[in-house]
Amino acid sequence: MQPANSKNRVYAMWDFVGRTMGMINNIQSPNNLARNSVWKDVVGRSIMANMLIQDESKGDQMHQMTWRDGFDRRFPFGDEVKQASEAAANAAE
């Protein structure tokens, strides 16, 4: 897989959420999710993703540390993405 030419908010969240979805796929037994440590990580990552999407300045700071000058701030998240993120985080809690 070739890395994206632009390291931006969408790229960063695509990676973060994709990894979270991979964790969900690795849950062996969906019974009693409250005691499953992987599920607890998924819930935490869902809340973190929502925080980074809702307050882009926090995400920008984190991504800036990772990619330094290579981080591209030009692509803000729209209202539809923010609403979906909020709904996913609320459903996970």
Instruction: Give the model's confidence band at 92: pLDDT under 50 very low, under 70 low, under 90 confident, else very high.
Output: confident
- The burial class, CB within 10 Å (0-12 / 13-18 / 19+), for 19 is exposed
| CB distance 88 to 50 below 8 Å | yes
pLDDT in the model for residue 84: 93
Mean pLDDT of all residues belonging to the chain: 84
Q: Which two tokens stand for residue 54?
A: 């809702």
Any idea which residue has 């979270």 for tokens?
20
Residues present in the chain in total: 93
At residue 38, does pLDDT exceed 70? yes
Task: Give the mean model confidence (pLDDT) for residues 58-84.
Answer: 81
**Gap between the Cα atoms of 82 and 80, Å rounded:** 5
